[in-house]
Amino acid sequence: MTNSMATAFGRPIIIENLPGSGGMIGTQQIVRAPKDGSVLGMVSSNHVINPFIYKRVPFDAIKDITPISVIASSAVVLVVNPDTVKAKTTREFIAELKANPKGYSYGSAGNGTVLHLAAEYFTSEADVDILHVPYKGTGAMTTDIIGGQVNFGMLPLVVAAPHIKSGKLRAIAVTTTKRNSAFPEVPTLAETGLPGFEFESWIAVIGPAGMPAPVVADAYKRIKETMAHKEVVDSFLAQGFTLTTTTPEQTRPFFVTELEKHKKLVKRSGAVAD
């Protein structure tokens, strides 16, 4: 992606990975950066989750940034262990859970993670209270769903795909509003029992607050050009992402809506950062 960005921006690009604290360490650098567009950053859905699971976040998730574009989103799929869950559809699964809620559990990649909140969103909309078992990442979680230690969970489609194809996991539905082209036979939760259900993980480009409008417009133009390069498109698609490239005018209200949605989900889950 670096070469494509350098071509679009017309200058050398340095990419610095700053992991830690759900991405907050990197975002702090963006918040403090010059407002001339020379420093931009990428954030994930964690950006709108962190304010509610950490005791202290050193910046405001909306006021201290300039949202430029949501560049990609990723489908999440509800999967079950086919040996411990009889249901094959959303309605059947909800009915099965309601008939014996104490007999089921779901796994997540950790407290307050996107996958945890996606599952909480499902249990909330389905009106069931199911035992949550947090793991440290998707690897152990996936292994235990396959092994039957937990009955179900939400997984990124790219992670679940090989296990769905092998029959080790059964896909009930995806959380997006449209079916995924890689698994067109898997319906959405919205169309199979939970109208209006929509949940995606995403990646967005941001800058510091106070960037002048012309600088924002120029940054968006160059990001859009970058995302059109074949090497970038192929890389994102291979990871199970759908390319979006929202405008700055679309991105700010999206952030506000997502912040409110995740606030409610975190409150329901009681999640705090591990």
Residue 17 pLDDT greater than 90, yes or no: no
Neighbours of 265 (CB within 10 A): 21
Q: What is the pLDDT of residue 252?
A: 96
Of 242, 224, 256, 267, the closest CA to residue 74 belongs to 242
Neighbours of 57 (CB within 10 A): 18
Contact 203, 42 (CB under 8 A): yes
Residue 12 pLDDT greater than 70, yes or no: no
Q: What is the pLDDT of residue 112?
A: 86
Question: What is the SS3 assignment for 5?
Answer: helix
Q: What is the pLDDT of residue 19?
A: 65
Q: What is the pLDDT of residues 238-271, one digit of tens each?
A: 887 889 999 999 999 999 999 999 998 888 888 7
Q: What is the mean pLDDT of residues 229-238?
A: 89
Neighbours of 209 (CB within 10 A): 15
Round to whole Å and give the CA distance between 155 and 135.
Answer: 13
Residue 256 carries which side chain, given as an amino acid letter?
Answer: V
Q: What is the pLDDT of residue 143?
A: 97
Round to whole Å and give the CA distance between 141 and 147.
Answer: 10
The token duo for 235 is 């890389």
**How does residue 206 score in pLDDT terms, banded at 50, 70 and 90?**
very high
Place of tokens 């001339």: 36
Q: What is the pLDDT of residue 6?
A: 63
